[in-house]
Amino acid sequence: MIGPIIRVGGIAAIVLLGGFLLPACQEPAADPVLTASQAPPPPPPQPELAVSRDRQVTHFGELPGHGGIPYYSRASASLLRHTFVEEGADYDPDLNAGGERMLFCSTRHTPNPDLYIKGVLGTAVTQLTSDPSSDIHPQFSPDGTRVAFASNRAANWDIWIVGIDGQQPVQVTQGPADEVHPSWSPDGQRLVFCSLSPGGGQWELWVADAKAGATKRFIGYGVFPEWSPVDNLIVYQRARERGSRWFSIWTLELLDGEPRYPTEIVFSADFAAIAPTWSSDGSRIAFCAVASTPPPDADYATSEDTSDVWIVNIDGTGRVRLTDGHSRNFGPVWSPQGRVFFTSTRSGHENVWSIMPPTLPQAISAPSGSLTRHWEEGPPVPNEETTVDMPG
């Protein structure tokens, strides 16, 4: 997340103009009789419905001389819904190594989020934490026996670990800095996370052993890091220090514990690229793109109302947009089976959904380079509720 969004409601003034009051004895004037020559002209033809046009949509990412970025409608991309909360919100999903269990945050029972586990195809939900504080950013350990998460139960945000039975939580970090978004190393021995010191001007990336009171090591600047499941690459988001100051997606490599080769994968002056996450084989990255303005066909949307999930190859090629640009879609995470799970407001509440990315021929893969502001007119996807939902 970029940060809290505060909405300020406007005040609408209703003005009643002249002609409102009539004398009580005055008869209303009769409607004039119109002749054929005086009849009003017929209404103009209605605009063509978007659903009758081509079903393939281009959102952004085009470069001069290159084709558009393909977007495939959900009907052909197997969208599924996994949680059905109507009070509160379900978000921050994560999958275990087998892909059959889902871990997530929820405010379904309390104003402050707790952690829950459920079967991806099941309906029963098990509450993992029940502290009066807030528990966020959970992630399964590689062996599925532990969960790392961030909590403010010790006055400020720190990294904690708890077993999947919810017993004996262990505090990994402590001190005045706020530390959030832990991610496990492939061997389950270390965690990478981000930290903001009191009075600090920017988020920092740190690595620590996955145990109580671990000593942490600084590896660079950025936020929301995630360790590759197969090697020592770490993906994260980082804000530029000039112009728009939008976030972009970077990777770095840890060699003998030292950060090397920081590489920018996705960047834009018009869009914030945030919350990156690895595919299970470490070859692709999913991320969320937040636009400063909504697409032209989203008349009801505002800049904080729309965001989309994209995927990209680790070399920056093959960008594909997975969601439809008409709701908030954020917090993606890959399952071992290749599905991308994410949080969406498409049902009116924040719930967890998933989608299977299409297999695209190389010929229409997007080029590498900057995301650019180019909204191409195109149809919306079919109504969300017409697709087949996961039973819940």
Higher pLDDT, 339 or 364: 339
Residue 69 structure tokens: 């970025």
Strand order in the sheet with 101-106: 90-95, 101-106, 114-119, 125-127
Nearest to 381 by CA among 326, 344, 331: 326
Q: Is residue 101 within 8 Å of residue 120, measured between CB atoms?
A: yes
Percentage of residues in the chain having pLDDT higher than 90: 57
pLDDT in tens, 3-23: 433 322 332 222 222 332 323
pLDDT tens per residue across span 127-155? 999 999 999 999 999 999 999 999 999 88
Q: What is the pLDDT of residues 18-76, one digit of tens each?
A: 332 323 334 444 444 445 455 555 554 444 333 333 322 223 333 333 343 344 444 44
Query: How many Cβ atoms are within 10 Å of 304's Cβ, its own excluded?
Result: 13
What type of residue sits at position 33?
Answer: V
SS3 helix, strand, coil % of the chain, rounded to 5? 5, 40, 60
CA distances from 384 to 31, 302, 324, 380, 381 (A): 46, 20, 10, 10, 8
Tell me the whole-structure pTM to 2 decimals: 0.74
Res 304 pLDDT > 80 = no
Q: What is the pLDDT of residue 238?
A: 95
Average pLDDT value for residue range 159-179: 95
What per-residue confidence (pLDDT) applies to 371?
Answer: 52
The mean per-residue pLDDT over the stretch 249-257 comes to 95
| Of 132, 25, 49, residue with least CA distance to 378 | 49
Residue 213 CA to residue 174 CA, distance in Å, equals 7
Distances (CA, A) of 61 to 100, 279, 286, 329: 34, 21, 15, 18
The answer on pLDDT for 93 being more than 50 is yes
Q: Given a cut of 60, is residue 214 above it in pLDDT?
A: yes
Q: Between these two residues, 34 and 351, which has the higher pLDDT value? A: 351
Structure tokens belonging to residue 63? 């470069």
